[in-house]
Structure 1
Amino acid sequence: MKKLKGISKLLLFVLLIGLAGCSAEDGAVGPQGEPGKDGIDGVDGEDGTDGQDGADGTDGQDGNANVIYSDWFYPVWNEFDTPRAKRMVVKNPEFGKNYDDGVILFYWITNNGSTFLVPWNTYSTSTGALIISRSMNIRGGSGDVWITIRRYDRDFEIRDTYGQYDGITYNRLRYVIIPGNINAGGKSSSNKANEKSPLDYSNYEAVKAFYNIPD
């Protein structure tokens, strides 16, 4: 019995020595493990609060704010009135101001609805001779404008010079004053103008639309 116990102790001792001689480096590298599962996506943050609307801007000034215009009026020949020559004086303090870069326009409308920029003339359809001349003269710093009409072949007819006669309207005029700071440089035979401008002052409808002038 004692002999068996001695052998057992010896075998145990040998086994311990063998295990002590083994190293962790001697073992083979194991296979790589499977990748881990993806994490859960985070929750989206809340939307920010909308900013306040900005204040409305100030309305711009009307394009015709500085344009001066009259109503249509009948001619009144208050300077002289003869069978073949008549003149009226139209007064407005604005006429006397310095409009070196601006214009003063007079429009004349006839009974058939045709509108002309003064000066304008009437010629014979057969000979081409001048029959009626209509002119405009700005009287310096006086604030006066002269409108003159002359007939060369015979005395005036009613339709030539009357504003209204026997219930029929024949002639009316109006003026438009365009200061230099808003002058479009339109083309005109009676005022300084920029010939490169597309606005033709002799075209009343175009001027009326461009400057938003009511009838």
Structure 2
Amino acid sequence: MAPTTGSTRPMTIGILGAGNIGRPLGRHWLAAGHTVTFGSRDPGRLGPFVELLGDRARAATYAGAVEAGDVVLLAVPNPVLGGLLEQLADRLAGKTVIDATSPIGVSEDGLFVSQLGPGTTQGSWTAERLPHSSVARAFTHFPDELLWSRGTQQRHFWGMGIASGDPRARRVAEALVHDAGFVPVHLGGLEESAAVDPGGRLFGYVSTAAGLRAAAGLAG
């Protein structure tokens, strides 16, 4: 029987960006029974990678990955995100979108900061550009080099912060966090997700679900 916090049915997922975030998460979701299309500017270069993943994995253009997925993960480098969303906003309408990008910058004193500046979270920025999509924020504070190892070797031990005020997006994000091997910790709406943005108190923070809740100042 499927865990109550995980997926109860297979999903079709489009991943925009097949790098250090998109690849490990796609592999986790394929292992959980989902169908995954990896989107790239040059899908041909993904052929050797995708061929090893089985019949439920394929490569496509960014637009092709969006068309193939009911759920779309944004995992491209942040500098290209704005232009990509402008091109694909109509195609993303009606879909659940999980934003895993980071507007990362470094201050003069060497600290990580959000390039969006104070008062704007990455999640709310994305939702503003996708008014007809259900948007959630996830997979952004956890070091990407640990997404595969911690999600396979220590499944459902480590917490993963998510944010969304949209019930459908929250439900899907929690299920896919679980299917990737982590424990979802809901932090609130997108406007309340600064903790997982660069410079936020959870950015780069690795802990159990209880540890994340305590660090975020959440009860329980």
- TM-score, normalised on structure 1? 0.26
Higher strand share: 1
Q: Larger radius of gyration, structure 1 or 2?
A: 1
Bigger relative contact order, structure 1 or 2 (CA pairs below 8 A, ≥6 apart): 1
Higher helix share: 2
- TM-score, normalised on structure 2? 0.25
